[in-house]
Structure 1
Amino acid sequence: MKPFLLSLCLIAVSTQTVSADRCPAAPDHSAGLNQLIQEIQKVQTEGAARDISGQMWGLWADAPNEQAQAILDQGMSKRSSWDLTGALQDFNRLVEYCPDYAEGYNQRAFVHFLRHDFASALTDLDRAIVLSPKHIAALSGRALSLMGLGRTQEAREALIEALALNPWLPERGLIDAGGRLAPTGEEI
């Protein structure tokens, strides 16, 4: 009987250790994001829109715990200094550790995009959007990746979807007359 109880205790301890190594759920910022989306749709100046966009980024970049935050911050720092290989390694670790955290996929997609690996970027962006359907940066990144793949109509539709949430996106000029995603001919 004692060996059986000892086995149960070891299983319980190992289960606790494994769960302690798991990434917790990402913070739910949906209410705050929805509020910011409503605000950005009403502002009259690009400066005000930029401030709200910064607040959105603050929500998306709020990682599930300190470990995930450290990996995210390190990867973003490497990406900013154009260490794309190092950034990709960090974001791979983040996605492996926190598979339900949308920003890990969005940031990894950005690195893929910078490397002109649009197909890989699109895969990660699609996952980020499944996890966070109103992730405006992922939606606009999806449009840019589709454009990079030459899938113009899909890119236009993706950008229109992103602009419905944030009409102030810098990419908005792409669908204006003369823009790379502007409707042509009978589509107008």
Structure 2
Amino acid sequence: MRPPAKSGIPLKPADPREAKRALDDLYDRLAKAPDDRTATQIALRIERRWMQSGSPTVDLLMVRAMAAMANDEMPVALDLLDAVVTLKPDYAQGWSLRATAEFQSDQTGAAVADLQRALALDPRNWNTLVGIATVMSDLDKKKEALAAYDAALKIYPRLEMAKKARDELAPDVEGKDL
């Protein structure tokens, strides 16, 4: 395993099999986290790995796209994210972030397609699943939204916003207790 980076954040292991095992271990630990604090720490480690595309150029484009989104500059963000998915079409986080920008730009059809692509590349990305749930809910497809929240919570059971959204949606799909 490589030594930690100067930032204190460990670098990804050099061996792809070792990296996959380490990520699998993090997902297992996330699913079994004994408390919210531990779960949040593990989730942040996973999310840092999601942001490592393997390309310094793509990583820079992602940082700039997120900054553009934070400044509500969606056309700029979309241009940057178009470059991300062109340069690195196997990078799930690029597709997922572009879907977010598309959804915020009222491009729902494009967002759904990108979310599906992101999920095909990384089926354990709970943010992508929450994105799917959000879009499905917006389209009044409550059953599909609930299924996406359930899938996200299988991976990250302590994801509070997903639990809350699922609990609000469930009575509409599953019925109300008398």
**Structure-1-length-normalised TM-score:** 0.77
Deviation track 1:152-181 (CA, whole Å, cap 9, x = no partner) reads 1011111111111111222211222xx034
Matched residue, 2:166: 175
1:75 matched to 2:73: no
1:155 aligns with 2:145: yes
Pick aligned residue for 2:33 from 40, 43, 57: 43
Q: Distance in 2 between matches of 1:47 and 1:73?
A: 26
Aligned length: 160
- Measured in 2, the distance between the counterparts of 1:90 and 1:164 equals 32
- Is 1:142 matched up with 2:132? yes
Secondary structure at the counterpart of residue 169 of structure 2: coil
Counterpart residue identity of residue 30, structure 1: K
Q: What amino acid is aligned across from residue 166 of structure 2 in structure 1?
A: I
SS at match of 1:167: coil
Write the deviation string for residues 10-69 of structure 1: whole angstroms up to 9, x where unpaired.
xxxxxxxxxxxxxxxxx7753333212211222232222221111111011101211111
What does 1:38-117 align with in structure 2 at a 5 Å threshold? 38-117=28-107
* 2:115–2:132 contact (8 Å) kept in structure 1: yes
The two structures have a TM-score, normalised by structure 2, of 0.81
1:17 match: none
Consecutive unaligned residues of structure 1, counting only runs of 5 or more, are: 1-26
Contact 1:119 1:149 in 2 (8 A): no
Counterpart for residue 8 of structure 2: none
Residues 187, 124 of structure 1: alpha-carbon distance in 2 compared, 3 angstrom cutoff: farther
Pairwise CA distance, 1:97: 1.2
Q: In 2 relative to 1, CA 89–181 (structure 1 residues): closer, same or farther, beyond 3 Å?
A: farther
CA gap of 1:98–1:185, structure 2 versus 1, over 3 A, is: same
SS in 1 for 2:53: coil
Q: Which runs of 5+ in 2 are unaligned?
A: 1-15
Give 1:72 deviation, angstroms: 1.2
CA displacement, residues 84-142 of structure 1 (integer Å, 9 cap, x when unaligned) = 11111100111111111111101101112223433221110100111112122111211
